[in-house]
Amino acid sequence: MKERIQLTVNGEVHDIVVDGNKTLMEVLREDLRLTGTKHGCELGECGTCTVLLDGEPVLSCLLLALDAEDSKIGTVEGLAAGSAPHELQIAFGELGASQCGYCSPGMLVSAAALLRDNPAPKREEIRDYLAGNLCRCTGYLKILEAIELAADRVSERRAAGETSPEHRIPARPAAEHGPDLEPIEGKRGSA
């Protein structure tokens, strides 16, 4: 059955009519044409579909779009500020952390939430946080190094009193609201 819903994505409100059984991933990609969020396993196993829901990384293949109506959704398209990429995107490019690139949007979204909360994570903390984001290409070393490089730059900016890019990632709400979802970290695999 078709439903009219409003979705707030990267700060923009979209008033759309969608099939009630569509997942958030499907609506983002097919109805809003935000194809940065990737379609992987659709089983909650790979993390390619990761988006932020009220600042928390979640798997958009496991969430109905209807259930995201009252939340703020953040996708990889929202990481850049206009033509200025997020530090993570710069570091991924510089260090070759994207091979085929299919896992990169999910990795970037998860890592952006991590740096918002912890701008100087240890390598083990990065591994733990990204445990739900799988890469099928050449391993995780370049990804970890890129996140560390971005973290160093974010920390330098903060120390210099400059606005750092993780401020574009919405903070977690003070009060609980939105669908009852578990964060994705630690659900599967190991980075």
Least Å from the CB of residue 70 to ligand FES: 21
145 or 164, CB closer to ligand FES? 145
Under 8 Å CB-to-CB from 83, ≥6 apart: which residues? none
Shortest reach from residue 110's CB to ligand FES, in Å: 12
Distance of CA 166 to the CA centre of its chain: 12
Measured distance between the N- and C-terminal CA atoms of the chain, rounded to whole angstroms:
39
* 8 A C-beta contact, residue 36 and residue 77: yes
What are the Cα distances from residue 158, in Å, to 115, 117, 119, 162, 165?
12, 13, 9, 6, 10
- Applying CB under 6 A, does 40 fall inside the site for ligand FES? yes
Q: Is 99 in the site for ligand FES (CB under 6 A)?
A: yes
User: What region does 71 belong to: left with phi over 0, alpha with psi -120 to 50, or beta?
Assistant: beta
Cβ 76 to ligand FES shortest distance, Å: 14
- Sketch the per residue contact string, 100 through 139, with ligand FES: x for CB under 6 A, - otherwise: xxxx-------------------------------xxx--
Q: Between residues 133 and 164, which has the closer beta carbon with respect to ligand FES?
A: 133
Q: Give min distance, CB of 170 to ligand FES, in A.
A: 21
